[in-house]
Chain A
């Protein structure tokens, strides 16, 4: 604006008014607007929205230009009064935080699931670490983690006043703020309802904070809110609705008239109780099969390793225990070196071989080194064993140890007794010997053996042997008695022959009997009757198996033979006819007596007997006559004998059989005119 003098002003103004005329007022108004910031602002304010709109349509330049300013504005605004800004942002912050929290929670759940998926025991370690870190008992951590959800509190809120009508909570988390919480919940509900202009206040049906969520159900007069830890199933919502509906219908009048007294709502607790639900993660699903298998394999390998280590050490321990228990072993030191071990100690040579034990275990023999020094164990079994080994006592010698006293009892041969008594003191562990019960003889006198018997006693075996022969009676008596004699364990009389009492056979004095090896020999002479009795009776004597009578002469047979010989020597001489010229009565009596004796004896011997009476003739005369004459002469003699009482059935008659050679003398002729005798015993003559 040019500077002008005041005097010139009016003229100039006049001129300008003339020139510019009607526009001048507008110009002045414009100038006024430009000069006055207030007016200018007013003008710009009128066009600024339009200008910005156009500018925004043309590109980002305006926005970009404004960024620093806006940022500065925000910064200053916050600096000046943070509350105003907070108030302005409050409606958006809630949902934003909620969204962010739920997102974070979702991700957290996911990663937790992954952790569960990839670590079986890892989870356990983590929980334990968490427990250490937080100071919360491990069990509770596990509970919290394995808890799928748990309704921890339930609030029944009067919708109009926001006052708490009824409240349920878990015993472990008692809170004092239930009244405040319920009012706050109703306030939040109102706030949400107001702020977002939703038709009904169902809009706010849950609030989620971290692990916690609050589910809200509303009825015309009441609000049911439950505080849940974890992820509750949708079914819970239905339960809540049901409970609330029940309450609404049951307590309608009370709810309507409620102003401040909560007493009537005590009864609601029962309806609310079913809402206090909880659920646990029972099964961890979703671990991939591969992971499971890998874990399984690792587990099996570890288990195998652990078990085999355990098994090895158990076996080693068992083996050592076995040796320790084994008498005659003293283990002084065991050194383990990995799989192998070295065992040092003392070992009685009488103890069992340790190799036997290794065979009992499946331990590798190469891995066990046994270094044992010999020693004499004073364990009783070892003293006993050693004693047995050194003394080798006869079977029936009894060795008894009492402390260090050795008692030897029983019977043994003198040599054995001497040996036992010299050796016994040499056994280690034995100081004293009692041999009072040890004997080297047995008195057999009570057996009273007959002279033919020899008794042999083996004291070491307790065996008595009888040889020779004895009467059966003695044999049997001894057999019954022998074993009752102390010290005799066995008795053998198989070599003893049973002697037979020959007097039983009642032999005549002329007979000598001897029995040997079951053969009875009879010697001498005996009557046929006795011989017969003997023969028939021997069968009843077991001691006699056979009878030898070759040396026995039967007296009766002998007599018979003598008589026969006598008879057969006799001859009756005739003259030329069938008569004789001498007194023959003595001869015939003699013949008859002989014949009678023969028949009698034969009958006694039960043998058939025939006496052949043979007639002879000389060569003189006619042969036919001579035959006749010979028969006649025989018959003559036979008649005599029959007359003397001889039965004709014992007699046979025979005439000439062959011609007689011509006699050289009269004597010969006379001799030929005779009758002679022959006797057949046992079998009749053949006619």
Chain B
């Protein structure tokens, strides 16, 4: 059995929990209930006839009071960075967290999800910044936990990256 720890990282209320819920249980709630500490979920993905068991660590979002615990990052095989397209500053936090991961865990597969794609009207993130990051080799996807756009594909993309490390 191949099991892998994957951390959901991002600022608070960007939709980390919502993405996991959509991915694992195919449900979405408008109600915001912040994650305390960590919440863990599990999902199996099959790629090229191999089953990967993703253990999803949905960490509490980073904000001015709460800092992502580095101990939670330990042992991660991959990371999903999440930013909120309607809050530009969350991209900064995502970048910052990426650095933290590099520091604590080292270079491991990661993807960046810019969430709440359904709220394109309130979009504040600068597309050029994203392009820049893509240039740097980042894998970025626009997702919506609400209408499940790209959610499945996002996880599949990470799983594929993870499989390549085996």
- CB neighbours (8 Å) of B72 from chain A are 187, 190
Asked if B42 lies at the interface with its beta carbon under 8 angstroms from chain A, I say yes
B69 A190 Cβ-Cβ under 8 A:
yes
Quick check: which of A83-91, A227-235, A343-351 contacts chain B, the rest being far away? Answer: A83-91
Given contacts A83-B34, A180-B41, A180-B42, contact A194 B55 (CB under 8 A): no
Asked if A164 lies at the interface with its beta carbon under 8 angstroms from chain B, I say yes
Q: Which of B2, B37, B52, B55 meets A162, CB within 8 Å?
A: B55
Given contacts A179-B53, A190-B71, contact A260 B77 (CB under 8 A): yes
B77 CB to nearest A CB, Å: 6
Max count, chain B CB within 10 A of own CB: residue among A161, A164, A183, A194? A183
Asked if A633 lies at the interface with its beta carbon under 8 angstroms from chain B, I say no
- CB neighbours (8 Å) of B33 from chain A are 83
B59 CB to nearest A CB, Å: 9
A161 CB to nearest B CB, Å: 3
A193 B3 Cβ-Cβ under 8 A:
no
A261 B2 Cβ-Cβ under 8 A:
yes
B46-88, CB < 8 A from A? 52-53, 55, 57, 60, 65-66, 69, 71-72, 74-77
Chain B positions 1 through 45: 1 when the CB is less than 8 Å from some CB of chain A, otherwise 0 = 111110000000000000000000000000001101110111000
B66 A87 Cβ-Cβ under 8 A:
yes
Given contacts A83-B34, A193-B71, A259-B77, contact A187 B57 (CB under 8 A): yes
Asked if A293 lies at the interface with its beta carbon under 8 angstroms from chain B, I say no
Q: How many residues of A contact B (CB 8 A)?
A: 26
B36 A90 Cβ-Cβ under 8 A:
yes
B75 A161 Cβ-Cβ under 8 A:
yes
A87 B65 Cβ-Cβ under 8 A:
yes
A143-181, CB < 8 A from B? 158, 160-164, 177, 179-180
Asked if A263 lies at the interface with its beta carbon under 8 angstroms from chain B, I say yes
A187 B40 Cβ-Cβ under 8 A:
yes
- CB neighbours (8 Å) of A86 from chain B are 36
The answer for the CA separation of A160 and B71 in the assembled complex, in Å, is 9
- CB neighbours (8 Å) of B4 from chain A are 163, 259-260
Q: Which of A161, A179, A193 meets B42, CB within 8 Å?
A: A179
B120-166, CB < 8 A from A? 162, 166
- CB neighbours (8 Å) of B166 from chain A are 260-261
Asked if A262 lies at the interface with its beta carbon under 8 angstroms from chain B, I say yes
- CB neighbours (8 Å) of B38 from chain A are 184, 187, 191
Given contacts A90-B37, A259-B77, A260-B4, contact A179 B69 (CB under 8 A): no
- CB neighbours (8 Å) of A184 from chain B are 38, 40
A163 B55 Cβ-Cβ under 8 A:
yes
The answer for the CA separation of A233 and B131 in the assembled complex, in Å, is 61
Max count, chain B CB within 10 A of own CB: residue among A86, A184, A263? A184
Q: Which residue of B lies closest to A160 (CB)?
A: B75
- CB neighbours (8 Å) of B5 from chain A are 161-163, 183
A263 B42 Cβ-Cβ under 8 A:
no
B69 A194 Cβ-Cβ under 8 A:
yes
- CB neighbours (8 Å) of A83 from chain B are 33-34, 36
- CB neighbours (8 Å) of B60 from chain A are 87
Q: Which residue of A lies closest to B60 (CB)?
A: A87
Chain A positions 118 through 160: 1 when the CB is less than 8 Å from some CB of chain B, otherwise 0 = 0000000000000000000000000000000000000000101
A83 CB to nearest B CB, Å: 4
- CB neighbours (8 Å) of B66 from chain A are 87
- CB neighbours (8 Å) of B57 from chain A are 162, 183, 187
The answer for the CA separation of A190 and B40 in the assembled complex, in Å, is 14
Chain A positions 504 through 521: 1 when the CB is less than 8 Å from some CB of chain B, otherwise 0 = 000000000000000000
- CB neighbours (8 Å) of B2 from chain A are 260-262
**Nearest 3 pairs between A and B by C-beta?**
A161-B75, A160-B75, A190-B71
Q: Kindly list 8 other residue pairs between chains A and B, CB separation below 8 angstroms, not including A161-B5, A260-B52.
A: A87-B36, A161-B77, A162-B5, A164-B3, A183-B40, A187-B57, A190-B72, A261-B2
B residues with CB within 8 A of A: 1-5, 33-34, 36-38, 40-42, 52-53, 55, 57, 60, 65-66, 69, 71-72, 74-77, 162, 166
